[in-house]
Structure 1
Amino acid sequence: MKVITSSKLVKFIILLTVTLTTSTLIAQEEEEGTPNFTISGSVDAYFRTNFNGLNKSEEIVGGDEVSFTPAAPASSFANDPGFAIGMANVILGYEDDKVGFLADLVFGPRGEDVVFLSQPSTNIVNQLYAYYKVNDNLKFTLGNWNTFLGYEVISPVANFNYSTSYMFSYGPFSHTGLKADFSFDNNWTGMLAVMNPTDYTEFNPIGKYSFGAQLGYANASGSAYLNLIYGEQSLSDDALFQIDLTTGWDLTETFYLGFNGTYQDTDGVGFYGAAIYPQIALSESFDLGLRAEYFKELEDGGPVYGADVRSLDFTLTGSYIIGGLILKPELRLDSISEDVFLDQDLQSTDNLSSFVLAAIYAF
């Protein structure tokens, strides 16, 4: 279990006070026609249970003491048993014709998992950057921003599924560096970046840099992005290479289809995978969506269950919107090519079925 210290609580209370005070000033300034300040964010909580796995800690004493933790997929977020919390997210932004900034602050278990390589003094900072628009076709950004790779994102508001995929969980979360965004025309965009090693959000501890690139196309029906990252992530001389395709299209007024394919390699250790995301609108307030993911770790090693292990994730999620509140009931089945889970009888098994009910409030 993660320990929330009293100093973090004090920081969050101060942050909340400043945010509420700032919102009053912003409302007054916007009435006077000053540049655009914004405050947005979310809070989320959930309930999770396994149908065929452990839902509580088990301990067996017999010679050596052995303890077993509740079963959960080895993907990020929404893995705690019973009633649990996600995070509080407050995003402060400013934008005028040329310059702007964004400060994205998180508090809670989900937020701590996102900034896992941050120092304790600053580990409520999810994103923090400033930017300068040279013209309509070129913008420079300096600071820390969430990754441009992958279909899924950190915020539970922007994801259709509440639990996350393996591809998202073991790709980058965040980057710190300098990037240039290009707009070639009404449809085509590009991005080039030089960055610290992945997820080192405050500074560069090893003196090595990564390079990122993106080519995007978007129109009224959807978008497609080809993403690349290359660079040494540790003191070893082995460089990480990842190529990633993310796309999604409205095929009809009520049916959407998304796709993510990725390949990551660091001297033979890594993974590749693909997922489809079909979603259908059943009413004005209720949508139903599926994530079907194939994830394969490379023969020399992988970051999740081990070398040459195959994982399948089928996640069926409902999304019911009531004003700013989003309710997400979710059924998930993980099937692995090795016996990596324990069932309720403490027997090894290669699959896990679970249920999550999440509540997300966005403002």
Structure 2
Amino acid sequence: MKKINVANIVKKSIFLALALASANIFAQDADSLKTKKLSISGSVDAYYRANITAPNNEMMVAPGSSFANLPGFALGMANLVASYDGEKTGFVADLVFGPRGTDAVFASPMYSNTGDIINQLYMYWNLSESVTLTFGNFNTFLGYEVISPVANFNYSTSYMFSYGPFSHTGVKADFALSDDFSLMLGVLNSTDLTEFNPDGKYTLGAQLGYKGQFLNFIYGTQTGLYEPTMQIDYTGGFDVSDTFFLGINATYNDTDGVGFYGAALYPQYTLSDSFALGLRGEYFAENGDFGAIGTGVEDSSVMAVTLTGSYTVEDLIIKPEVRLDSTSEEAFIDNDLMPSKSLASFLIAFVYSF
């Protein structure tokens, strides 16, 4: 009888030990799931655009900046972003489909003819609380605007954003120097060449941040050019009040005396929880005949004023927009098919984020 009791005690002890071990394993798995999170997000957008002072036909008269340039009812893009955040490491896979996405990755594909849909693809490693290393392809750190229409107040984009870099492939290190100061240093392929480096040319990138104000810099010889490109860019903004924000962007780009420069103000006023108004006033000019404005005349310039409303219903944003582009030389045509220095246009965009 005594032997039987001892055997039962041993069996119960072994069972209890296994149960505790299993509980510990499950607890570790639960903690692991808490520190590693897979998330899916993205957006879809479409719009209607019409010229006011120019014909709306196969001539495709439109502002000289990127995106939102198609006539009539048109598609933007579908954006699907998968991100995985671990305790120290993670990744972002950002895919784009549609005309806006195609324009965003215009320098791809280079290696194949299958069609490139990768907007961003990078991994990161938090080396410490103040240092993060990022490797892969990521959207540019220059400029006030971005590719995704969700993060921009105006639906159409500025000339500075359109002709500055869209993306970089390489490695960068971000340093949190203090609560107020940040620094980024990077070694990158030629700008917008997302898939690989075709000629062994590299660009240096840097960013100095202070309380939400950023001074950005790139320098390096780009693919297809013989002289190095230098671009310096300031991006920032201020909360003037609880309802009024003023964004600022200025940039200067030069390659052996040819390039562009410009400045823009982005006043934005919140009227209610669901509606806001924003204005973009931009001056953009070319050194030499850079070719951005499309006049074919050296040292051309353009003044573009864009007024945008933003009405939010749950996760849907409706953006009506009126834009006026005025160039120093004749870059457009009017309704009589005569050369013109100005173009007035209207669009309404629908952007859904998830």
TM-score (norm 2): 0.88
Match in the other structure for 2:301: 310
Match in the other structure for 1:110: 100
Note if contact 1:53-1:343 (Cα within 8 Å) is conserved in structure 2.
yes
Note if contact 2:293-2:301 (Cα within 8 Å) is conserved in structure 1.
no
- In structure 2, do the counterparts of structure 1 residues 301 and 360 end up closer, same or farther at CA, with 3 Å as the change threshold? closer
Separation (CA, whole Å) in 1 of partners of 2:108 and 2:188: 16
Note if contact 2:293-2:331 (Cα within 8 Å) is conserved in structure 1.
no
> Any idea what the Cα deviations from partners look like across 1:299-320, whole Å, max 9, x if unmatched?
3544332421010100000000
Separation (CA, whole Å) in 2 of partners of 1:205 and 1:339: 37
Match in the other structure for 2:343: 352
- In structure 2, do the counterparts of structure 1 residues 235 and 347 end up closer, same or farther at CA, with 3 Å as the change threshold? closer
Letter paired with 1:209:
Y
Give 1:30 deviation, angstroms. 10
Match in the other structure for 2:267: 278
Identity of aligned residues (%): 58
Separation (CA, whole Å) in 1 of partners of 2:45 and 2:196: 30
Q: SS of the residue aligned with 1:47?
A: strand
Match in the other structure for 2:44: 43
Match in the other structure for 2:321: 330
Q: SS of the residue aligned with 2:127?
A: strand
Q: 1:224 aligns with which of 208, 213, 221?
A: 213
Q: Any residues of structure 2 matched to 1:35-184 within 5 Å, and which?
A: 35-57=36-58, 69-119=59-109, 120-121=113-114, 123-184=116-177
Q: Any residues of structure 2 matched to 1:192-231 within 5 Å, and which?
A: 192-218=185-211, 223-231=212-220
Give 1:170 deviation, angstroms. 0.2
Note if contact 2:169-2:195 (Cα within 8 Å) is conserved in structure 1.
yes
Separation (CA, whole Å) in 2 of partners of 1:273 and 1:291: 13
Note if contact 2:35-2:87 (Cα within 8 Å) is conserved in structure 1.
no
Letter paired with 1:331:
V
Larger radius of gyration, structure 1 or 2? 2
Report the more deviating stretch, 153-162 or 305-314: 305-314
Separation (CA, whole Å) in 1 of partners of 2:107 and 2:261: 24
Q: SS of the residue aligned with 1:48?
A: strand
Note if contact 2:35-2:85 (Cα within 8 Å) is conserved in structure 1.
no
TM-score (norm 1): 0.86
Match in the other structure for 1:241: 230
Any stretches of 5+ residues in structure 2 without a counterpart? 1-29
Note if contact 2:137-2:194 (Cα within 8 Å) is conserved in structure 1.
yes
Letter paired with 1:108:
G
Letter paired with 1:289:
G
Letter paired with 1:172:
P
Q: SS of the residue aligned with 1:139?
A: strand
Q: SS of the residue aligned with 1:154?
A: coil
Letter paired with 2:202:
Y
Report the more deviating stretch, 301-310 or 30-39: 30-39
RMSD (Å), alpha carbons: 1.5
Separation (CA, whole Å) in 2 of partners of 1:30 and 1:170: 46
Give 1:31 deviation, angstroms. 11
Report the more deviating stretch, 118-127 or 45-54: 118-127
Q: SS of the residue aligned with 2:101?
A: helix
Aligned positions, number? 320
Give 1:195 deviation, angstroms. 0.4
> Any idea what the Cα deviations from partners look like across 1:330-351, whole Å, max 9, x if unmatched?
0000000111111121111000
Q: SS of the residue aligned with 1:135?
A: coil
Separation (CA, whole Å) in 1 of partners of 2:83 and 2:273: 30
Separation (CA, whole Å) in 2 of partners of 1:122 and 1:139: 31
Separation (CA, whole Å) in 2 of partners of 1:303 and 1:340: 11
Q: SS of the residue aligned with 1:130?
A: strand
Separation (CA, whole Å) in 2 of partners of 1:103 and 1:191: 21
Separation (CA, whole Å) in 2 of partners of 1:47 and 1:125: 26
Give 1:32 deviation, angstroms. 5.9
Letter paired with 2:179:
N
Letter paired with 1:267:
D
